[in-house]
Amino acid sequence: MKNNTFIPLLIAIGVALCSISCQKITDSLDTKTIDYLAVDIEAIPVLSGISSTEGLPVTLTNYTEKHQISTTLQAGVTTIDSIIPGLYTINVDGELLVGTEKYLLKGSVANVLLVPGNQHVKVNIDGAKVGPLAISEIFYAGTAPFYFRNQFYEITNNSDELVYVDGLHFANLHPTIATTNLPIWPEEDQGAYTYAQRVWKIPGKGRDYPLQPGESFTIAQFAANHKLPQYNPNSPIDASLSEFEFNMNNPSFPDQPAVDMEHVFYNGRAAKGTVPQYLTSVFGGAFAIFRIPEDESYDPVGNPNLQTRDLGTTGTTLYAKIPLRYVVDAVEAGHNESMSAAKRVPTVLDAGMTWVGATYNSLGVRRKRIGQRANGTPILMDTNNSTEDFERQVVPQFRYHGQGIPSWSRAF
Amino acid sequence: MAVMALSKPAVAQQKIKQVSPNWLEIQDSLGSWRNTANPAGLTRDQPVQFSKVQATYDIEQGDFRRPQQAQKINSQSIYGAGNTQLNDYYLQGFIRYNRQFREDATYNASLIDPFRDMPYYIIDSNASDWLNQLYTMGFDLASPVFKDKWTAGLSVDYQAASGAKQRDIRAENTQFGLSIRPGLTYQINANHVAGFNLLFATSKEESVNSNVNVYVDQGYFIHYGLGHAIPYVGSGTNMNYESEKWGAGLQYEYHGLWNLLLSTNYAIAAETANIGFLAGRTQGSILTRQSESSLRATRENTLFAHQIVLNYAFKLGEGTEYWNEFVPGLESDGYINQHKAVRSTYRNSFGEAAYTLIKKREGGYDWKLRGQASYRKREDQYLLPQSAFGMSYLNYALSFDKMISSGNATYTLGGKIGNQHSLSGDYRYGGQRADELPVQELMRSDLNFLTTDFLSIEIPFTYSLQVDNKHIHNFYVQAVGSWLDARSTEYQNRKKITLSVGAIF
């Protein structure tokens, strides 16, 4: 090689290198240092008789980084300084005295990304709706090694009135596992629905299953004594006295004495399908109980208007629409608190998320007790925020808080 | 490969027929331009033509280690290097293969090298073995002097590596890196030479996480810096690291009673850490500005060589975090970046002074005495919420090596004793997860290690046999034992033995 070829070669290499993008370096050089944000919260009262939300407590929570800022709403727009950029859930929840009337008001917005340029948040404030029934305990994580048939759901009458649970619907919502890849639902629904993968209902003619205040019942995936050797002796729960079960006609796990739930909907059909068990995610699903108003009918199989597919995918799976106004209670669970950034349940139903932090750890979630009735039955916390309302990583137990046993239960 | 051709006879710059490890050590130590980043100056060191092959086995173990370092490391490597003349051009090259078995390494499930100053990675709690393989190769090409003043050079290094974490959460990593350094030198007059070189480097590392036991989901964290990490449950995630680096170097050499070589390098680099292999979900990036300066002063006569080396290095890293939002839909690009900001900084400075006195003899040295002292300071900050990690230490060491001849064989036995004294150390975490693993176990353990005083002892031994006095045919065996003794109740020690067999021809 001669010098007169070597030097041009070096020059060519230099030119080639210079033509290679320096995009990463220039992008980094253009980046500013992080700073606190000032965020405006505009709380809009939608309940008649309420014109101002001044004085209500507001909390901004960044679940992934565990930051929380609480303050009190001012008249009009409330400016909150010192917000670290991030994904926040904003909750307004409190009592307001208007004249001599005391109002319990709530409003929330989940997972709003507060970053420069997006510093104004509107929150509709409505009257707090607390249903008479509350999902009081859920055990979804299963037991090591890989035993998931001991899942159960406990529902408590948290009101002061007798409730008949005949016809109460139970649904697990889509996505069945927490994900930031959320579905796209029809625009015309205008946020009036939540969407279920599978729907069941409690049988009965209307007055077969009364539930007195403070009483509870459970629905088991498989209502057997899971501590038996043929199942899993490490199971924390014996579900043989569960009141209801999700019987999927699996001969290996045959029908138990518990009353079978009626199957309502799965992928556009009333049939249960071929899945051998009703397994909800051991990471934590989202669940709703809902009741159909007496003057309305609900037929997500026969009425195509109550079905939809996820428009964000090419999948053909059909999901049942559940009007939000039907919902009595809803609870959302996820892998851990970081998955609060992947909420899929409307905040009007559940402003938070609960978790047990692992799978097959024999731990569940349980609603907190805030008081008791004269007969010793519990009054449970129900602020429509499962992050606050639930104790996490508890050892599952039926009627932990001393709930009563309904007279029609085999456990009575 | 070009390297394999290096053993062919060629015209050497110097006609020396006894090249031993001892002699090569002197050449590397006293040589000027070979200690710079500028390949154009290599011929100014008047290199001797030789080829070298070496096989090395080493084993290292002990509890005195950083938390992400393996409890035990077993490593084997094969190394080959050589140089030759291609017409008037000088060419040198090397190739190395290294296989590492690292046992019980913790708090890392996404990086082959967890100490490469990348704050964005996966932390899990399962101590695991890693099986790593590393291939490196490169060459330096230097032109003859043209127009009585100039030389030009080109250096290219390539590296490829694979790594596999052996326990859930598993990681399968692949990595490559390429660096290119063109350079020029200019002879100002008989006593003065100036040099200039550029640097471009790029690298990529991909990490694929999975669980073999799909029924047991594992807890893990994505780390963002100084213990700030977000917990998740599952089988980890896939990380994709990509970097680019630009830099330049200046050199100045003076020949006189003392030969002086002053060199300084500056580089700027950026590396992004993405979740998955599609665009748009960058978790973080680190921008690094790095400068290194060195002064080497050497004075030689027929009996002795004196050398003073002063080094200073400064490195400033800025960690940028990204706030991304997933936009669903068939037409959507998925994750969209909505904001990014510098959220952590990493400041490192290092200074070192060393003096070496060599009693020369034919084919190497009679004895060598070396004293060195170094100072390191690290100041890292996470800006919001505010956390800080800082430490500094002073390290000093004294070594002596003596060569004994017996016929065609030589024996070199040495000893080095050193001490590291911690001057400061502090870690303050200002986030909301103070009781979680990244803070309590990773960061606090790292601080404990970095602020622990220790005594170091190293004993090198080399047996070298000149097989043929007419040619460069040398066979050698080297053994080095080292021992770090921690002055702490928390740690005991760390020991390492290295055995090498090689030939120079």
Q: What's A246's DSSP letter?
A: -
**CA angle, B222 as apex, B217 and B223 as ends, to 5°?**
145
Same structural domain, A64 and A208 = no
Same structural domain, A116 and A249 = no
CB B390 within 8 A of CB B443: no
**CA angle, B96 as apex, B91 and B97 as ends, to 5°?**
155
Q: Quick one: what percent of chain B has pLDDT higher than 70?
A: 96
Pull the structure tokens for residue A85.
């950029």
Same structural domain, A267 and A381 = yes
Q: Quick one: what percent of chain A has pLDDT higher than 70?
A: 95
Same structural domain, A96 and A161 = no
Q: Tell me, what's the pLDDT at B15? A: 57
pLDDT interval class at A6 (50, 70, 90): low
Contact B217 A35 (CB under 8 A): no
Domain count along chain B: 1
Pull the structure tokens for residue A169.
């619907």
Picking from A21, A24, A337, the nearest residue to B285 by CB comes out as A24
CB B135 within 8 A of CB B99: no
Same structural domain, A284 and A321 = yes
State mean pLDDT over B39-54.
91
Which residue has tokens 């996480």?
A: B209
State mean pLDDT over B456-472.
90
pLDDT interval class at B16 (50, 70, 90): low
**What Å distances lie between residue A184 and A196, A306, A334, B325, B328, CA to CA?**
14, 16, 20, 15, 7
Same structural domain, A338 and A364 = yes
pLDDT interval class at B1 (50, 70, 90): very low
In a domain, A412, yes or no: no
Q: Tell me, what's the pLDDT at A3? A: 54
Task: Out of A103, A127, A151, pick the residue that ends a domain.
Answer: A127
Picking from A66, A144, A183, the nearest residue to B433 by CB comes out as A66
Q: What is the pLDDT of residues B87-104, one digit of tens each?
A: 889 999 999 999 999 999
Q: Tell me, what's the pLDDT at B3? A: 35
In a domain, A399, yes or no: no
E strand or H helix at B173, and its extent?
A: strand B170-189
Helix (H, G, I), strand (E, B) or coil at A54: coil
CB A221 within 8 A of CB A245: yes
ipTM of the complex: 0.88
Which residue has tokens 């290295």?
A: B498
State mean pLDDT over A110-122.
93
Residues 6+ apart with CB under 8 A from B201: B177, B178, B179, B180, B243, B244, B245, B247, B269
Q: Tell me, what's the pLDDT at B335? A: 85
pLDDT interval class at B12 (50, 70, 90): very low
State mean pLDDT over A218-223.
97
In a domain, A9, yes or no: no
Checking if the pLDDT of B393 tops 80, the result is yes
Which residue has tokens 């890392």?
A: B108
In a domain, A143, yes or no: yes
State whether residue B217 sits within 8 Å of chain A by CB.
yes
Checking if the pLDDT of A191 tops 90, the result is no
Q: Tell me, what's the pLDDT at A197? A: 96
pLDDT interval class at A168 (50, 70, 90): very high
Contact B154 A312 (CB under 8 A): no
Contacting B residues, span 142-161, partner chain A, CB-CB under 8 Å: 143-144, 146, 152, 154
Same structural domain, A94 and A215 = no
Same structural domain, A273 and A243 = yes
Contacts 24+ apart (CB under 8 A), B486-491: B486/B64, B486/B452, B486/B453, B486/B454, B487/B452, B487/B453, B487/B454, B487/B455, B488/B448, B488/B452, B488/B453, B490/B448, B490/B452, B491/B63, B491/B64, B491/B448, B491/B449, B491/B452
Distance (Å, whole) CA B26 – CA B18? 13
Task: Out of A127, A149, A179, pick the residue that ends a domain.
Answer: A127
The residue in chain A having the minimum alpha-carbon distance to the alpha carbon of residue B272 is A24
CB B321 within 8 A of CB B284: yes
State mean pLDDT over B215-226.
91
Same structural domain, A90 and A151 = no
In a domain, A24, yes or no: no
Distance (Å, whole) CA B480 – CA A102? 82
Distance (Å, whole) CA A134 – CA B38? 74
In a domain, A14, yes or no: no
pLDDT interval class at A104 (50, 70, 90): confident
CB B314 within 8 A of CB B352: no
**Looking at residue A120, which CATH number applies to its domain?**
2.60.40
Residues of A in contact with B339 (CB under 8 A): 85, 113, 115-117
Give B349 or A191, the one with higher predicted confidence.
B349
Distance (Å, whole) CA B145 – CA B299? 25
Residues 6+ apart with CB under 8 A from A313: A183, B330
Q: What is the pLDDT of residues A239-283, one digit of tens each?
A: 999 999 999 999 999 999 999 999 999 999 999 998 899 999 999
Q: What is the pLDDT of residues B299-312, one digit of tens each?
A: 999 899 999 999 99
Residues of B in contact with A144 (CB under 8 A): 216
Q: Tell me, what's the pLDDT at B6? A: 33
Give A10 or A332, the one with higher predicted confidence.
A332
Residues 6+ apart with CB under 8 A from A160: A213, A373
Distance (Å, whole) CA B90 – CA B43? 7
Checking if the pLDDT of B257 tops 50, the result is yes
Q: What is the pLDDT of residues A29-68, one digit of tens each?
A: 999 999 999 999 999 998 878 888 999 999 999 989 999 9
State mean pLDDT over B246-255.
96
Q: Tell me, what's the pLDDT at A111? A: 87
B461 φ, ψ (degrees, to nearest 5)? -140, 135
State mean pLDDT over B398-404.
96
Q: Which domain holds residue B498?
A: 3-504
Contacting B residues, span 77-136, partner chain A, CB-CB under 8 Å: 86-87, 89
Q: What is the pLDDT of residues B322-333, one digit of tens each?
A: 999 887 777 777
Contact B285 A335 (CB under 8 A): no
Checking if the pLDDT of B2 tops 60, the result is no
pLDDT interval class at A2 (50, 70, 90): low
Same structural domain, A175 and A53 = no
Q: Tell me, what's the pLDDT at B26? A: 86
CB B72 within 8 A of CB B59: yes
State mean pLDDT over A217-222.
97
Q: To the nearest whole angstrom, how far is the Cα of B274 from the nearest Cα of chain A?
A: 12
Same structural domain, A94 and A137 = no
Count of CB atoms situated within 10 Å of the CB of B32:
20
Distance (Å, whole) CA B298 – CA B303? 14
In a domain, A23, yes or no: no
CB A167 within 8 A of CB A209: no
**Looking at residue B231, which CATH number applies to its domain?**
2.40.160
Q: Tell me, what's the pLDDT at A99? A: 76
Contact B339 A21 (CB under 8 A): no
Contact A32 B270 (CB under 8 A): no
Same structural domain, A119 and A162 = no
Q: Quick one: what percent of chain B has pLDDT higher than 90?
A: 80
Distance (Å, whole) CA B28 – CA B48? 11
In a domain, A183, yes or no: yes
Peptide bond into B9 cis (omega under 30): no
Domain count along chain A: 2
Residues of B in contact with A145 (CB under 8 A): 215-216
Q: What is the pLDDT of residues A335-347, one digit of tens each?
A: 988 888 888 888 8
Q: Which domain holds residue A236?
A: 133-394
CB B3 within 8 A of CB B501: no
Q: Tell me, what's the pLDDT at B17? A: 62
Contact B234 A34 (CB under 8 A): no
Checking if the pLDDT of A70 tops 60, the result is yes
